[in-house]
């Protein structure tokens, strides 16, 4: 055997002791960053993020858009106009604030509840609607359930339902950015539930060992469907794992958009400068149901929900904006009113757009449609011609 072994030159750091001393799982205390108080005032001497009036307004408009979109789409689902929807009620600061601290060339790889990032980046109302109505104008060609958005132009990776899969991918994506010397990082978002998946552990370790400029961002909102976080993990949250994997880690108040932006701005410059990963754990609360298929009254109390209503990140930020004299109630009312109208109108347009043509069934499975799929498509068309009334979306269109 080669004399040069791979034994590390020294053990990981720590004092030598001669009677056993176990380290308690909770002994690593992790501070939490808070900048904006519940009442909309600032903590004295808090470190503010870089934020001018124009950017603050952009963040607030994204908040308002998000609220109205969620409210309207829940209603649309109840009316049977779309099959499914997921809100991010109460968590908007994590995603809107997260995107606001990035540059457009930074990639975002999200889980599913992060439409706030897309809103901030300017995904159009039409694009949102076309995806949810899975019509022929949907960028994803009507193949996935509502809310599985994606946009190459906006550097927002298309959502995949299996949880946690984006986490090691984000490490790889960021490593690719590093090799190509790009002035960009990758933001990877996931829930505290998804942080239990094997992919989470694999992804963080890969990123740490190979020093990829990726920001892992855990939205810790207290629940994974019905499972409360104390049945998801023990130990000091998700942040302690970043420490375990040897990466820069911070915990923040996820309902405080200024804290989100501050931490993200620092994380971005650290990841870029050192070409290394960062973990952010944002503590928040999922105010709404998991999805429109879920009924949270089966697993949490009205009192608990009411308590968290008071932590609303949007109300908190609005008060601050008004205190800054950057915003006022009259503009607020007008903004919400116009958003409600626009979104309702967009629903009406999108639901009338045709479903994708039958050819879209076989495209994108491979780069080109292979022979066997061509044959299957031809047989299908022949069959549809025989029973046009049974396939109303596609019959008569080829």
Partner 1 sequence: MAQMNLLQAVNNALDIAMAEDDSTLCFGEDVGHFGGVFRATSGLQEKYGKARCFNTPLAEQGIVGFANGLAAQGSRPVAEIQFADYIFPAFDQIVNESAKFRYRSGNEFNVGRLTIRTPYGGGIAGGLYHSQSPEAYFAHTPGLKIVVPRNPYQAKGLLLASIRDDNPVIFFEPKRLYRASVGEVPEDDYQLPIGKAEVISQGSDITLLGWGAQMEVIEKAAELAANERISCELIDLRSILPWDVETVAQSVMKTGRLLISHEAPITGGFAGEVAATIQHECFLHLESPIARVCGVDTPYPLSLEKEHMADHLKIFEAIKRSVQY
Q: Residue numbers of the site for partner 1 (CB under 8 A)?
A: 83-84, 134-135, 142-145, 148, 160-164, 193-194, 196-199, 224-227, 231-233, 293-294, 298-299, 355-356, 358, 360-362, 365, 372-373, 376, 380, 383-384, 386-387, 390-391, 393-394
Among 93-101, 207-215, 223-231, 333-341, which window interacts with ligand TPP (CB under 6 A)?
223-231
Q: Which does 362 bind (CB under 5 to 8 A by kind): partner 1, ligand TPP, none?
A: partner 1
Beta pairing, strands 227-228 & 223-224: antiparallel
221 binds, among ligand TPP, partner 1, none (CB under 5 to 8 A by kind): ligand TPP
Residue 286's binding partner among ligand TPP, partner 1, none (Cβ under 5 to 8 angstroms by kind) is ligand TPP
Residue 361's binding partner out of ligand TPP, partner 1, none, with CB under 5 to 8 Å set by partner kind: partner 1
> Cβ distance 91 to 113 under 8 Å?
yes
The entry of ligand TPP, partner 1, none near residue 65 (CB within 5 to 8 angstroms by kind) is none
Given the DSSP bridges, would you call strands 223-224 and 186-191 parallel, antiparallel or unpaired? unpaired
Contact 65, 275 (CB under 8 A): no
Q: Does 286 bind ligand TPP (CB under 6 A)?
A: yes
Nearest to 259 by CA among 250, 268, 270: 250
Task: For the CB of residue 114, give the shortest distance to ligand TPP in the complex, in Å.
Answer: 9
Pick 8 or 392: Cβ nearer partner 1: 392
Q: Which of 290, 331, 372, 397 is catalytic?
A: 290
Region 159-178 residues binding ligand TPP, contact defined as CB under 6 A: 161-163
Residue 11 annotated to the active site: no
Q: How many C-beta atoms lie closer than 10 Å to residue 326's C-beta?
A: 15
The nearest distance, CB 252 to ligand TPP, in angstroms, is 17
Task: Specify the stretch interacting with ligand TPP by CB under 6 A; choose among 36-44, 191-199, 272-280, 344-352.
Answer: 191-199
Question: Which residue from 214, 208, 281, 280 is spatially nearest to 246, judged by alpha carbons?
Answer: 208
Specify whether 18 is catalytic: no
Return the active site residues: 286, 290, 299
Residues that bind ligand TPP (CB under 6 A): 113, 161-163, 191-194, 219, 221, 223-225, 286, 290
């Amino acid at each position: 055997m080669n004399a040069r072994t791979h034994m590390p030159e020294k053990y990981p750091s720590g004092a030598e002791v001669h009677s056993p001393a176990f380290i308690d799982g909770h002994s690593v205390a992790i501070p939490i960053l808070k900048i904006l108080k519940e009442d909309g005032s600032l903590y004295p001497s808090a470190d503010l993020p870089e934020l001018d009036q124009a950017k603050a307004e952009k963040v607030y408009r994204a908040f308002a858009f998000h609220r109205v979109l969620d409210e309207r789409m829940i209603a649309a689902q109840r009316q049977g106009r779309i099959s499914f929807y997921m809100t991010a009620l109460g968590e908007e600061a994590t995603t809107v604030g997260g995107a606001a601290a990035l540059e457009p060339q930074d990639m975002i790889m999200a889980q599913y509840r992060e439409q706030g990032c897309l809103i901030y980046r300017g995904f159009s109302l039409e694009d949102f609607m076309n995806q949810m109505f899975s019509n022929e104008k949907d960028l994803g060609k009507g193949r996935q359930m509502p809310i599985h958005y994606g946009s190459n132009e906006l550097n927002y990776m298309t959502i995949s339902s299996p949880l946690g899969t984006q986490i090691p991918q984000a490490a790889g994506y960021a490593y690719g950015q590093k090799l190509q010397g790009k002035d960009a990082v990758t933001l990877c978002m996931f829930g505290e539930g998804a942080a239990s998946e094997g992919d989470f552990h694999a992804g963080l370790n890969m990123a740490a060992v190979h020093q990829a400029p990726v920001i892992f961002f855990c939205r810790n909102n207290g629940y994974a469907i019905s499972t409360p976080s104390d049945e998801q993990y023990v130990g000091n949250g998700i942040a302690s794992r970043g420490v375990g994997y040897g990466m820069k880690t911070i915990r923040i108040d996820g309902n405080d958009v200024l804290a989100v932006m501050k931490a993200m701005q620092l994380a971005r410059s650290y990841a870029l400068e050192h070409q290394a990963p960062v973990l952010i754990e944002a503590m928040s609360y999922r105010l709404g149901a998991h999805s429109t298929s879920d009924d949270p009254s089966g697993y949490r109390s009205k009192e608990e929900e009411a308590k968290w209503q008071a932590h609303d990140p949007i109300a908190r930020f609005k008060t601050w904006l008004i205190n800054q004299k950057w915003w006022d109630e009259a503009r607020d009312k007008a903004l919400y009113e116009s958003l409600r109208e626009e979104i309702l109108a967009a629903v009406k347009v999108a639901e009338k757009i045709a479903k994708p043509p039958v050819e879209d069934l076989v495209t994108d499975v491979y780069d080109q449609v292979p022979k066997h799929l061509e044959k299957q498509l031809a047989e299908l068309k022949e069959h549809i011609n025989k029973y046009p009334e049974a396939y109303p979306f596609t019959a008569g269109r080829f």
